[in-house]
Amino acid sequence: MRLTLACLILLCAACTKPQAASDAPQAKVSSPMRMVDAAPANPAMRQTLYVPVYSSIHWGLDQRLINLAATLSVRNVSRKHPIYLTKVEYYDSAGKKLRDYLKGTGELGPLATTEFVVEQRDVTGGPGANFLVEWTSAATIDTPIVESVMIGQLGAAGISFTSPAKVLTAE
């Protein structure tokens, strides 16, 4: 009896009309980062990060080039203090700067995250693209989590992976 009832409930649920995309609630993506006049004058911490970004990648035996969408994610893991982003620059495989994603200084509050996106149709970076990210903090804090997330599709195959930032110590 219980098995029959469970099957009936599953059948009824499967027969309901799926919600159309236009009827679905729309998530609004907005960055909690706010622009400020300047970073702290005497920061307790400062880092420059190199973040690999694969805006395209070679795939299969024929080494076909597949374009990927890439998101640079910057996560402030401090529960008390903001971080200040002073540089977010995007470079191509040859090391040529393509664009500045940040005009000025951005303040990212405690436990906040911001993203910078390279669209899938933007192939200017190539397989060796990268970001340089500079951040500072007025207090000694845990290092933010900074990584890139790439995603794409070839037919029915989905491609997704992440790439962590590397701290640059010498220039």
pLDDT averaged per 10 residues, the chain (length 171)? 42 41 43 91 96 89 89 98 97 97 96 96 93 97 97 89 91 54
| Residue 80 falls inside a structural domain | yes
User: What is the tens place of the pLDDT at every residue in 80-113?
Assistant: 999 999 999 999 999 999 999 999 999 999 999 9
Is residue 159 within 8 A of residue 165, CB to CB? The reply is no
Domain count, the chain: 1
15 assigned to some structural domain: no
- Give the pair of three-digit tokens for residue 134: 């500079």
Query: Which residues span the domain enclosing 157?
Result: 53-171
> What's 28's DSSP letter?
P
Q: Which of 129, 133, 152, 116 is nearest to 54 (CA)?
A: 129
Does this model's pTM top 0.85? My answer is: no
In a domain, 62, yes or no: yes
**Residue 6: inside a domain, yes or no?**
no
